[in-house]
Chains A and B, each alone.
Chain A
Amino acid sequence: MKLMEYQGKELFRRVGIPTPRGHFAKSADDVAAFVAANPGSWVLKSQVLMGGRGKAGGIKFADDPNQARAIASELLGKVLKSVQNPEGERVGSLLVEEKVAIESEAYVSITIDRAAKKPVVIVTAQGGMDVEEVAAHDPDAIAKLWIDAAAGFWPFVARRLAFAAKLPLGFHKTFPGVVGGLYSLFMDYGANLVEINPLVLSKDGAVIASDAKVDLDDNALYKHPELKDWKAEAPVDEDQAAAVAIGLGLSNYAKLDGNIGVIANGAGLGMGTMDAIRNAGGSAANFLDIGGGAQADLVKKSYNLVVSDPKVKSMFINIFGGITRGDQVARGIVEALAGGDIRKVPLVVRLTGTNEKEGRAILAAAGMNPVETMDEGAKTAVELARA
């Protein structure tokens, strides 16, 4: 689950990372009232998940309540578009924050290094920029160190990073505390990524997290039931919602660009089936993994989900039964096709493995003739999509 800036900063405060004084608001009246009660210069920051928010015009400044109200009215409800997110994202709330006089900007993040099987801390003195661009143009400006999860975080790691990345001296005293807080957030909340960009050194010498990017592992959310309100508010991925609605796992269904529907058991075979279709000159309309041990009802619902995409011209159901039983799959297919209210597309079935004889008999009784191999099935599905 990706968090909005204001949510990330809430977690930052819980682990002792300093953030600017601010106020979260969902209406222009609320914004104006806050600025009226707290005179000064304020930044109005659109709360969206997309990258490139500033360039898209989602961050504005206000010095008095009337100006704040006008800008808030303009931003709330606006659809921001950026290079990273051409479809745009609607602004539903704002974070009103004190304007910090900037002396220097740094970058710090913690993510998972899969190959090392360890958390890795990445630091650069070139904050406020896209870190991948910094990595491409000035790789020496980036310092990295790995943390031994058995030993946990110790301040020397942050000290080494501060020197290696040549952070201005003003950062050095507080930096280990910031990285330590970031590490405890990373481990305790189960984050795929925690990022502060920029980490600001202010003119008066304070070190403050000016932005917050936090992406939490969905599998770990159960450990923090207090976050369930955020989960409920989080924008829903349509494919994920459709998968969960029929009882599949979150990432078991994904729409793609082609016109041949795919159902397979297992993620590997699902990807292999997409590849086989491409090898046969076609293109998959989706990835769908029915998982292990699927019953007839799930097969039927999966069929209906795949054909609900109007660009699907033909379908390839590719099953290698291990714990998935061929008779259950065949029954689900027959039930799906018997349903009167759904669209039917030309169908190729390949059924191998556990209970394949029983499954084939069920399909034969319904007038269907399964193919023998994955290559043959893919070829036939491509021909049917062209017909």
Chain B
Amino acid sequence: MAIWLDKNSKIIVQGITGREGLFHTQRMLAYRTPIVGGVTPGKGGSSVEGGIPVFNTVHDAVAKTGATHTIIFVPPAFAADALYEAHDAGIGFAACITEGIPVHDMLRVVATTAGMRILGPNCPGIVSPGKALVGIMPGHIFKEGRVGMISRSGTLTYEIVDNLTKAGLGQSTCVGIGGDPIIGTTFVDALRAFANDPETDAIVLCGEIGGSDEEDAAAFIHDHLPDKPVVAFIGGRSAPRGKRLGHAGAIISGNFGTPESKLAAFAAAGVPVADRPSQIPDVVKSRLSGAKR
């Protein structure tokens, strides 16, 4: 098992004929991801990659393929519209890769798309190793296994997953929640799903400075995850205040979003925080070998 994505998911790609959309469709297919179609308005009736049908609308795609999942590669000005369209067509899970969507578009989207899980925006996607990859992550670093991973960053996830895989710790599902201020799926949403997944034995949570998602995650772990080990990492601990470093959400404003606040929250929840990605496999192993919080 895995969370949110498995072999039976039926995936469409919104923006499938664009440069990014097509490139990553090829990579996802190479990972044997069950992609059943794509959407580009005006290109309905054509196909890409030797038989993946392209539709004009998400509604057409859902009617013809029974799609359950979508991945969105459309430009920022059209991404909110794409999310609404997916929701209206009955899609249950949408991974939004697009970076630079106006925050207020996302405020409206999250308030009006109940029933559809949105991952991102500005996220690397999700992979259930050995089953399916819906995103832009490099498939070869992942390995099937029993560690769940949640992260706000893309490349830092690769760094940590690479360490886990090389240490023999495979992954059940890796979820990139995205680096924007307003995101559809939070750490707590992913923790809740992993808590209920019998094939996830431990969870690695990779946070970063800014916001209070890590503090909320720590409180949730303390209250609801007494039996599943969680190991955390926080990126940007050496960052100065007031500087925005790459991710729109990674900024320390005043005393809000500081690493100190996040470290204190994890300490209070009994969650070990690794100082370096390279330490994470050992901490996970020691937690798995019986040491309960």
Contacts and interface: CB of A to CB of B under 8 A. Distances in A.
Is the A/B pair a real complex? yes
Interface of A: 112, 114-115, 117-119, 132, 148-150, 186-187, 190-192, 217, 219-220, 222-223, 249, 251-252, 254, 256-257, 264-272, 274-279, 283-284, 287, 289, 292, 320-323, 352-354, 373-375
Contact of A251 (B107, B159, B246): B246
A320 B254 CA distance: 32
A190 B105 CA distance: 8
Given A112-B181, A275-B237, A352-B162, A251 B245 contact: yes
A5 B246 CA distance: 28
Interface string B6-26: 000000000000000001100
A281 B152 CA distance: 26
Contacts of B112: 149-150
A254 B138 contact: no
Contacts of B105: 220
B111 A220 contact: no
16 contacts: A115-B211, A149-B111, A150-B112, A190-B104, A219-B76, A220-B105, A256-B240, A256-B243, A266-B246, A267-B246, A268-B151, A268-B156, A268-B157, A268-B235, A322-B137, A375-B276
Given A278-B238, A353-B158, A271 B102 contact: no
Given A118-B111, A266-B153, A271 B245 contact: yes
Contact of A115 (B24, B141, B216, B275): B216
A320 B182 contact: no
Given A114-B211, A375-B276, A274 B138 contact: no
A254 B136 contact: no
Main secondary structure of the interface of B (DSSP, over half): loop
B102 A115 contact: no
B115 to A, nearest CB: 13
A279 B275 CA distance: 8
Given A219-B102, A254-B244, A268-B151, 13 more contacts: A118-B107, A149-B111, A190-B102, A222-B77, A251-B244, A251-B248, A266-B156, A268-B235, A320-B158, A322-B138, A323-B136, A352-B162, A374-B159
B236 A149 contact: no
B168 interface: no
Contacts of B248: 219, 251
B66 to A, nearest CB: 29
Contacts of B179: 267-268
Contacts of A265: 155
B239 interface: yes
A345 B237 CA distance: 26
A272 B156 contact: yes
B235 A272 contact: yes
Nearest to B237: A275
Contacts of B201: none
A182 B14 CA distance: 35
Given A119-B107, A279-B276, A321 B239 contact: no
Contacts of B153: 266-269, 271-272
Given A274-B238, A322-B154, A220 B102 contact: yes
Contacts of A323: 23-24, 136, 138
Interface in B110-145: 110-112, 124, 136-138, 141
B37 interface: no
